[in-house]
Structure 1
Amino acid sequence: MAHTPFGYEIVNGRIEIHAREAEQLRLLIQSYLSGKSLANAAKDSGINRSHGGIVRILTDERYLGNGIFPRLISKEQFEQLKEERIKRAKKLGRLNRIKAEETFKPIFTFTIGNVEARYDNPTKQAEFVYSLIKEEVT
């Protein structure tokens, strides 16, 4: 396993709850749901991570528990976090942004001439065919 998520630790080859980090996670969730910003909620809970790191923690479904990871938060808490993130994003105008569609127009066009010569040697045939490729700046 490349990375053990915050709140867990590996003990004797098994993933178990890391007591201190699990408590910090609970404080983070409580602070965030009480209205604090991500940065302030993280600071209050003693978690020293970047903004993106805190978002990843709050959106990680492994905390709900599965066959490998024990449950750290309830489904209701996870849904509350999701609703709160959407509510804040909406308030800040970060939802429904329309990104300008990117278009790609190549600056070259490639053409190939007629493949009239045939060689028994596949390498010679490939060299011949590649020699027929022409490029034009558009």
Structure 2
Amino acid sequence: MAHTPFGYEIVNGRIEVHELEAKQLKLLIKSYLSGKSLANAAKESGINRTHGGITRILTDEKYLGNEMFPRLISKSQFEQLQEERFKRAKKLGRLNRVKEKDSFTPCLEFTIGKIEMKHENLIKQAEYIYSLIKGEVT
């Protein structure tokens, strides 16, 4: 496992609860649900992570427990967190924001110039031939 989620540690090849981080996680959740901002809740709980890092912690379903990870929070706590995040996003007008997609249309028509040179080195010959390919710009 390349990254052990906050609140867990690997001991003798098994994932176990990291007691200090688990306490910090519970304090983070309590502070956030009491109305504190992500930054203030993280600061109060002693977690030094970016805003995105704290968001990932609060949305990680691993804390509910599964065959690999021990349970750190209850399903009702997790649902409360998601409801609170939704409520705050709605209040701030962050719902239904659509990111503009970059429009890219690949060129599907190509031409190749006249092959006038022949290299003994096959790699050089391939490079030369590929350099003759021109895409039709529309």
Match of 1:135 in 2: 135
Match of 1:24 in 2: 24
Match of 1:98 in 2: 98
User: Unaligned regions of 5+ residues in structure 1, if any?
Assistant: 113-122
Match of 2:89 in 1: 89
SS across alignment from 2:16: strand
What is the Cα deviation at residue 39 of structure 1?
0.2
Residue deviations 1:64-122, cap 9 Å, x none? Answer: 0000000000010111100111111111111001333432245784147xxxxxxxxxx
Question: Which moves more between the two structures, 96-105 or 57-66?
Answer: 96-105
Count of residue correspondences: 125
Match of 1:41 in 2: 41
Q: Give the Cα separation in 2 of the matches to 1:101 and 1:14.
A: 43
Q: Give the Cα separation in 1 of the matches to 2:8 and 2:133.
A: 57
Identity %: 76
Q: Give the Cα separation in 2 of the matches to 1:49 and 1:95.
A: 24
SS across alignment from 1:73: coil
Contact 1:108 1:137 in 2 (8 A): no
Q: Give the Cα separation in 1 of the matches to 2:107 and 2:133.
A: 16
Q: 1:40 to 1:110 in 2, by over 3 A?
A: same
Runs of 4+ in 1 over 6 A off after TM superposition: none
TM-score (norm 2): 0.79
Partner AA of 2:24 in structure 1:
Q
Q: Give the Cα separation in 2 of the matches to 1:59 and 1:40.
A: 17
Within 5 Å, give how 1:118-133 maps onto structure 2.
Answer: none
Contact 1:110 1:134 in 2 (8 A): yes
User: Unaligned regions of 5+ residues in structure 2, if any?
Assistant: 113-121
